[in-house]
Amino acid sequence: MTLVAGIDSSTQSCKVEVRELHTGRLIREGRAPHPPQKIVDPEEWWQALLLAVQRAGGLHDVSALSVSGQQHTPVFLDQNGAVVRDSPLWNDTGSHPQVVALNSELGSGEWVRRTGLPITLSDTVVKLRWLRDTDPESTRRTAAVAVVHDWLTWRLMGFGPGRADFSRLVTDRSEASGTGYWSGETGDYCTDLVQHALGKNVILPRLLGPLDRAGVTSPGIPGIPAGVVIGAGSGDNAAAALALQLRVGDAVMSLGTSGVVYSRSAQPVHDYSRVICSYADATGDHLPLGATLNAARDLDAGIAVLGCDYDELSALALQAAPGAGGLTLLPYFEGERTPDLPEATASLHGATLANFTRPNFARAVIEGMLASQVVMIEAIRACDVPVNRLLLIGGAARSPAVQQVLTEIIDVPLLLPEPGEYVTIGAAVQAGGALSGHFPDWHPVVREVPRAETSSLIMSQHRAARKALAYDPAPPMAAVSPLDRLRNAAAS
């Protein structure tokens, strides 16, 4: 029996799953938490990986492994391979002034044209500017920049402090596409954008293909024998898409702490409305994606107010009619990324003595969460990417009310894959690909959610509430040529 391991170093924790190569059957698993802070010492991620491996019973019998992880979050390395300073996570909102600066200097349309990304506070390039603006000494010491999965893969190969072979620092297209300095058209880094953001050039990870090997594990790592094949790895959403065997015409809605919607495309996209990011996937295609900072945490807020649990919240919501009697929640509890409102707070609209009931409030919480995600489906379609089926994953996907309300909003079949750690599964698929030269064919088990009657009222109320607070996105901005930008800069 040949075993492979998938490792998911997510925002909240590190998860390890050992699976049988030919069937995908789960053999054993382990996990370890990450710190809750939004600026973290990367050593915490390495120690969590080792603890998760230990809790999974070690990888002594594993032939290959691959690492996936939270996208965007940078690891700053000095010339000796040591970490320069703690890393700001992708969801740290402290870098919003740098978003404003970068978009002001080059124009948001230029970032979309060059990289396919409407630059937000999540992107690595923004964290580079943040480092330059807030910590000049660390900027001076930084010789290389990786993201989390790149760095963990490098550590597994035995590199790090005192052993800094940066030629072995590698990444994949999916991770590169989330940096804000990579082009989906050329497949290359835009090093001038790194220079612009950081004020200097640094070493960037070498890009691997989907089935390439990063190397093998180094001796001396607790719980992991030397010589285990290491796959290229990927970003978290690309790994989940690989596990779900996403095809053109499919979209995924992932409802975890944050909300993510993505679809598969053969070509990169350029969304000048600044909702959709043109990421790459783990197969060689592209993964147009939108994300919100708020998703399942909306349900947490609802149960806190109502003094109930998740099952009771779902049951209450199903007692109310679509539109919650006119009650509408904009769930921007922690600011928001889509729309770009880092300082926003949640707001409740349309409350009256008649409609302010527990069932209506429960439904408004769920409708608000889902309407924010459906906005991103609409934006993907506006990029000429088809959405013919929707797969729903994540912790909140288990709620019967979430499932039913979503069928009331969307106009395509809703498919519910069986619960699973799809990022970890996708990483294990990549490990299998690196070992055998082709991805194993592990068919995900899915069921179709019975359709409910579609109601336009839910999205109409959501749009009206956004309009009332002037939260509608600005009109799309056309791309501006670099030459025009240079001329404008010179004139100023």
The identity of residue 381, as a single letter, is R
Residue of 236, 250, 285, 340 marked catalytic: 236
First CA to last CA across the chain, in angstroms?
67
Q: Residue 240: which of 422, 23, 92 has the closest Cα?
A: 422
**298-306: Cβ within 8 A, 24+ apart:** 298/329, 298/331, 298/333, 298/365, 298/366, 298/368, 298/369, 299/365, 299/366, 299/369, 299/396, 299/399, 301/331, 301/333, 301/346, 301/365, 302/361, 302/362, 302/365, 302/366, 305/361, 306/358, 306/361, 306/362
Residue for token pair 């489906």:
377
Is residue 236 annotated as a catalytic residue, yes or no?
A: yes
CB hemisphere CA count around 377 (13 angstroms) = 25
Q: Where are the alpha helices (DSSP H) in 96-177?
A: 96-106, 108-115, 124-134, 136-141, 148-156, 173-176
Q: DSSP states of 188-220 as a string? A: SB-HHHHHHHHSS--B-PEEE-TT-EEEEPPTT
Tell me the sheet residues that pair with 286.
265, 280
Residue 208, CA distances (Å) to 134, 176, 245 in order: 32, 10, 20
Find how far residue 28's CA is from the centre of its chain.
25
Q: Are 374 and 463 in contact, with CB atoms under 8 Å apart?
A: no
The SS3 of residue 462 is: helix
Hey, what are 132's tokens?
């330059």
Separation of alpha carbons 284 and 272, rounded Å: 24
- What are the φ and ψ backbone dihedral angles of 423, each rounded to 5 degrees? -65, -45
Angle at 81 between CA 123 and CA 10, to 5 degrees: 40
Supply the residues annotated as catalytic.
Answer: 236
